[in-house]
Amino acid sequence: MNIVADGLRVDYGTVRAVDGVTFSLDGGKIYGLLGRNGSGKTSLLSVLAAFRKQSGGTVRVGGRPVFENADVTRDICLIRDAGETVDIGTAADALDFAEWLRPNWDAEYAHALMDRFALKRNANVKAMSKGQRSALGVVVGLASRAPLTMFDESYIGMDAPARYAFYDALLADYMEHPRTIILSTHLIGEVSSLFEEVLIINRGRLLLHERSETLLARGTSVTGPVAAVDAFTTGLTVLNTDRLGPTKVAMVYGDLDETSRRKAVEAGLELGPIAMQDLFVRLTDPDPATLNAPVPTEPAGEVR
């Protein structure tokens, strides 16, 4: 199920949480939605799920408007950090409600996931720990098999083994039942390998939307003698530098062609990859003085 947003805005009184965001997402992919706290991620997902109406602009899912459109929203599932089921009785009640609500619900898969996460069907949801509620939300999200499924930090309360079980289950089920999945997360290092494309929201605006491999290819660490690193990085976008005695490491953002890479090697420099989490941290640095040049970004909605 594809998504098209054009000039999307979300206001809370005088505060603009989402500011003119435009993008187009193809169906049948896993997307990573990244942003610092307060960047507008949750507000954006709430509009996509029709939990709230946008203040301006348009959003279409599967070519149709979303807000107050039951034919569309039944195919959308958003699991937030507290899950969808906090005050709904027992876990079994939560599953029954999800089955009633979701036309693609797979009850057999839901019960298998309950066992996988050691969740008791007769447990009162309000009495569950945060980790158990998060796991129940994950069960509802995966078993919904909704054409558009979104997880907004919904697994944040789970411990590491449970989170990794979720990642494995998500990928396996996605391969068997392809659909559009959006993961909003701060645990980028854990889950970035799942992303086919990445959107970064910064201060309510779309900073970039690129394929994961394209984004990672734009980041390069340059290591070597201080003078050689400084000479090589002159005129490039340097996101961060570290120095240890006579050795300097610079984090460079931008395409390096083969000629540049050859010159780096000839200068005795070592080039290496940068993890997506490190790129995200530096690209969204709240202090623009940390950059020595503007960060190159793609036009909103364009992926190359």
**Span 207-222, pLDDT tens digits:** 999 999 999 999 999 9
> Which tokens go with 226?
């201080």
Are 171 and 228 in the same domain? Answer: no
Q: Is residue 254 part of a domain?
A: yes
Distances in whole angstroms, Cα of residue 20 to Cα of each of 6, 54, 56, 58, 284: 7, 11, 8, 10, 18
Indicate whether 292 pLDDT > 50. no
User: Packing angle between helix 130-144 and helix 91-101, nearest 10 degrees?
Assistant: 30
Looking at the structure of the chain, the number of domains it has is 2
Indicate whether 86 pLDDT > 70. no
Q: Is residue 208 part of a domain?
A: no
Are 80 and 121 in the same domain? Answer: yes
Question: Can you give the pTM of this predicted structure?
Answer: 0.90
Are 94 and 198 in the same domain? Answer: yes
Indicate whether 83 pLDDT > 50. yes
d(Cα 301, Cα 210) in Å, to the nearest integer?
A: 9
d(Cα 113, Cα 72) in Å, to the nearest integer?
A: 26
d(Cα 80, Cα 94) in Å, to the nearest integer?
A: 15
Contact (CB, 8 A) for 188 and 218: no
Task: State the first-to-last Cα distance of the chain, in angstroms, to the nearest integer.
Answer: 20
Tell me 193's DSSP state: G
Are 223 and 83 in the same domain? Answer: no
What is the pLDDT averaged over residues 6-21?
A: 95
Q: Burial, 167: exposed, middle or buried (Cβ in 10 Å; 0-12, 13-18, 19+)?
A: middle
Q: Is residue 18 part of a domain?
A: yes
The amino acid at residue 164 is Y
Contact (CB, 8 A) for 48 and 78: yes
Indicate whether 95 pLDDT > 70. yes
Indicate whether 297 pLDDT > 60. no
Are 18 and 70 in the same domain? Answer: yes
Instruction: Identify the domain containing residue 94 by its residue range.
Output: 3-203
pLDDT digits (tens, 9 = 90+) for 102-138: 999 999 999 999 999 999 999 998 888 889 999 999 9
DSSP for 48-99, written as a single string: HTTSS--SEEEEEETTEE-TT-HHHHTTEEEE-TT-S-TTSSBHHHHHHHHH
Q: Is residue 300 part of a domain?
A: no
Of all residues in the chain, the percent with pLDDT exceeding 70 is 92
What is the pLDDT averaged over residues 135-150?
A: 95
The alpha helices in 188-285, defined as continuous H runs, are 188-191, 212-218, 226-233, 258-266, 276-283
pLDDT for position 87: 67
pLDDT digits (tens, 9 = 90+) for 18-38: 999 999 999 999 999 999 999
pLDDT digits (tens, 9 = 90+) for 221-250: 999 999 999 999 999 999 999 999 999 999
Indicate whether 49 pLDDT > 80. yes
Are 21 and 117 in the same domain? Answer: yes
Burial readout 234-243 (b: 16 or more C-beta within 10 A, e: otherwise): eebbbbbbee
Are 25 and 79 in the same domain? Answer: yes
Are 16 and 114 in the same domain? Answer: yes
- What is the domain-level CATH number for residue 253? 3.30.70.240
> Which tokens go with 128?
């569950």
What is the pLDDT averaged over residues 84-93?
A: 76
Residue 261's CB: how many other CB atoms inside 10 A? 13
pLDDT for position 155: 79
Query: In 3D, which of 284, 300, 288 has the Cα closest to residue 203?
Result: 284
Are 268 and 130 in the same domain? Answer: no
Are 51 and 181 in the same domain? Answer: yes
What is the pLDDT averaged over residues 65-84?
A: 87
pLDDT for position 294: 44
